[in-house]
Amino acid sequence: MKLNNKNHNPVPPDDLEESNLDTSNTLTFEEVRAIDQRLVELFHKGYYAEAIPLAEKLLQTALTSCNSQSDIITMFLDRLADLYLFTGNYRAAIDKYKRSLKIKEKTLGHQPVVAKTLNLLAYCYCRAAKYSIAIALYKKSLAVLCNFIKVF
């Protein structure tokens, strides 16, 4: 993963040129899958800023097509938050992780995936120099993991 902006190319190379994917409001499953594959490809090649519009489109599609508590929505919220995190837009990353966390806490309770989101959210707050909030989130994450381990 490329966190350093000097490793980030602002324009994707020719093999990553924009495809002719439909970006209207109604997408078929195949179109969503194709956009998602493209998003993952851009992410893995370090083209985070270029992947953001695709992630936003997928999230918008999920929000209009899925139950508001759907794990598909949390998946796309997390992907968009990750992209914002890697581009240094911590405020936007925090917003998306918070939205995802709210759904996960309601639907999953004390599961490791909730702890992971808490950790990512805490990391964003650290990067934004909001350390007291970050510490509280790290503690909450640890408590979630401890409660999960007690079940076994």
CATH number at residue 132: 1.25.40.10
Q: Whole-prediction pTM value?
A: 0.80
Q: Is 135 within the bounds of a domain?
A: yes
Q: Is 115 within the bounds of a domain?
A: yes
pLDDT computed for residue 130 by the predictor: 97
Q: Is 119 within the bounds of a domain?
A: yes
Q: Range of 114's domain? A: 25-151
Q: What's the chain's average pLDDT? A: 84
Q: Is the distance from CB of 118 to CB of 104 less than 8 angstroms?
A: no
Q: How confident is the model at residue 152 (pLDDT cuts 50, 70, 90)?
A: low
pLDDT digits (tens, 9 = 90+) for 72-119: 899 999 999 999 999 999 999 999 999 999 999 999 888 899 999 999
Q: How many domains does the chain have?
A: 1
Phi/psi region, residue 2 (left: phi>0; alpha: psi -120 to 50; beta: rest), is beta
Q: Is 20 within the bounds of a domain?
A: no
Q: Is 29 within the bounds of a domain?
A: yes
pLDDT computed for residue 25 by the predictor: 57
